[in-house]
Amino acid sequence: MIKLIVGKRGSGKTKKLMELVNATALTSKGNVVCIEKGDTLTFSISHKARLIDIESYGVSGYGEYYGMLCGINAGNHDVTDIFGDATLRIGSRDYGELADFLDRVSALAEESHVNFIFTVSCDEAELPAHIWEIAEKI
At residue 62 the predicted structure's pLDDT band, cuts being 50, 70 and 90, is very high
Please report, for the domain that includes residue 71, its CATH number: 3.40.50.300
25-36 pLDDT tens trace: 999 999 999 999
Question: Residues, the chain, total?
Answer: 138
pLDDT at 49: 96
List helix spans (H) across the chain.
13-27, 62-75, 87-90, 95-112, 129-134
Q: What is the domain extent for residue 27?
A: 2-137
Task: Identify the helix (H) or strand (E) that includes residue 2.
Answer: strand 2-7
pLDDT bracket for residue 42 (50, 70, 90): confident
* Close Cβ partners of 36 (under 8 Å, ≥ 6 residues apart): 51, 52, 53, 54, 84, 85, 86
Q: How confident is the model at residue 83 (pLDDT cuts 50, 70, 90)?
A: very high
Domain count of the chain?
1
pLDDT confidence bin for 100, thresholds 50/70/90: very high
